[in-house]
């Protein structure tokens, strides 16, 4: 990649690795609805003017039903579950559990009609990744923390299902406009809940700063930078940040919040990462065989952010 490509790659690897830390800090001073509303409303306010200037909103109207479904599965539900789970789980553990998105995505794709078969290597990846999840979640479940773990795994399931909807129903829509509208819709849903759960006093400065960075940098700014990375390095290289984000989440949790770095965390990281790589590995065609003719989605200049939603807590 070019120097510009490497800079964008490094920026995105960090930006989509720090939301877990910021959510953990924000949870100290505001309710979950206020947290999600702040993130979605500020993100929408920053992205909607850009989408309007690019004239990316009108083309979304015919697909409004699928946009609603996508927003519910990709943003509304997961961000609520993840933010609530981090009230009891460490940011490191949350980041690693969400890293199972590629594994869950491979299973969902197969269950919903993906034509690509699960090879022995992909099956091995699924089993290795699930072993990593079990290693990490087992002690929590045994000590009565089963529901927070379930919330994070449901978050990962939403992040895995979102791209399937986007790729099959929304693939020809402009990604920035779609993101802006979905954030705005989510903010409207959370506005009443946020209004009823406002804090009685002004939150500490670190909480306000975490909300601001989470909304402006990790949500709005991240997608703008990600589109730039795709244009500079291509979608295949851009998605490699998926495997860097969990390491950033763990490093920040340990160094900034003082969370423990246990053998289970290190072991589960290796297993989940290895399993994700193997489970999403494409099968190779036999030498000399003709490629199969199959319908391909219409290419667009900027792929939807849903295609890589596994990299955010959200992203």
Indicate if the pLDDT at residue 289 is higher than 60: no
Indicate if the pLDDT at residue 298 is higher than 50: no
Structure tokens at 41: 């409303």
Indicate if the pLDDT at residue 296 is higher than 60: no
31 or 243: which carries more pLDDT confidence? 31
Task: Specify the pLDDT at position 145.
Answer: 73
Task: Specify the pLDDT at position 308.
Answer: 43
Q: Cα(39)–Cα(25) distance, rounded to whole angstroms? A: 14
121 or 241: which carries more pLDDT confidence? 121
Task: Specify the pLDDT at position 294.
Answer: 36
- pLDDT per residue over 53-65, tens digit each? 999 999 999 999 9
Task: Specify the pLDDT at position 228.
Answer: 84
Task: Specify the pLDDT at position 3.
Answer: 87
Which range of 87-96, 217-226, 234-243 scores highest in mean pLDDT? It is: 87-96
- pLDDT per residue over 83-138, tens digit each? 999 999 999 999 999 988 888 888 888 888 776 777 899 889 899 999 999 998 88
Residue 51: pLDDT band with limits 50, 70, 90: very high
Average pLDDT of the residues of the chain: 85
Task: Specify the pLDDT at position 291.
Answer: 45
Task: Specify the pLDDT at position 208.
Answer: 96
Choose the weakest-confidence range: 8-12, 36-40, 306-310.
306-310
Tokens 């979102």, residue located = 162
Indicate if the pLDDT at residue 281 is higher than 90: no
Task: Specify the pLDDT at position 164.
Answer: 87
Question: With left for phi above 0 and alpha for psi between -120 and 50, is residue 288 left, alpha or beta?
Answer: left
Q: Cα(12)–Cα(43) distance, rounded to whole angstroms? A: 17
Residue 287: pLDDT band with limits 50, 70, 90: low
Residue 180: pLDDT band with limits 50, 70, 90: very high
195 or 137: which carries more pLDDT confidence? 195
Q: HSE on the CB side for 260, CA within 13 Å?
A: 6
Q: What is the mean pLDDT of residues 25-41?
A: 96
Q: What is the mean pLDDT of residues 244-252?
A: 90
Q: What is the mean pLDDT of residues 13-38?
A: 95
pLDDT > 70 in the chain, percent: 87
Residue 236: pLDDT band with limits 50, 70, 90: low
Q: What is the pTM of this model?
A: 0.85
């Amino acid at each position: 990649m070019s120097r510009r490509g490497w800079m964008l790659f490094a920026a995105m690897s960090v930006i989509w690795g720090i939301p877990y830390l910021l959510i953990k800090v924000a949870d100290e001073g505001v309710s979950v609805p206020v947290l999600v509303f702040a993130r979605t409303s500020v993100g929408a306010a920053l992205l909607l003017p850009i989408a309007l200037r690019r004239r990316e909103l009108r083309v979304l109207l015919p697909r409004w039903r699928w946009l609603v479904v996508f927003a519910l599965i990709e943003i509304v539900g997961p961000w609520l579950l993840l933010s609530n789970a981090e009230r009891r789980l460490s940011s490191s553990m949350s980041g690693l559990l969400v890293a199972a998105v590629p594994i869950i995505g491979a299973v969902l794709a197969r269950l919903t009609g993906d034509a690509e078969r699960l090879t022995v290597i992909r099956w091995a990846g699924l089993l290795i990744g699930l072993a990593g999840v079990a290693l990490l979640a087992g002690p929590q479940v045994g000590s009565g923390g089963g529901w927070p773990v379930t919330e994070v795994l449901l978050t990962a399931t939403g992040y895995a299902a979102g791209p399937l909807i986007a790729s099959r129903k929304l693939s020809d829509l402009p990604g920035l406009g779609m993101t802006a509208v979905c954030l705005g819709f989510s903010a409207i849903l959370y506005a009443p809940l946020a209004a009823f759960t406002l804090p009685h006093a002004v939150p500490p400065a670190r909480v306000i700063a975490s909300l601001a960075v989470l909304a402006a940098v990790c949500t709005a700014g991240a997608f703008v930078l990600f589109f730039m990375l795709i244009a500079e390095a291509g979608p295949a290289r851009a998605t490699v940040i998926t495997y860097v984000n969990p390491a950033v989440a763990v490093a920040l949790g340990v160094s900034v919040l003082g969370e423990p770095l246990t053998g289970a965390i290190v072991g589960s990281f290796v297993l989940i990462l290895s399993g994700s790589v193997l489970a999403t590995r494409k099968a190779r065609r036999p030498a000399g065989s003709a490629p199969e003719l199959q319908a391909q989605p219409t290419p667009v200049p900027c792929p939807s952010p849903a295609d890589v939603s596994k990299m955010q807590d959200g992203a």
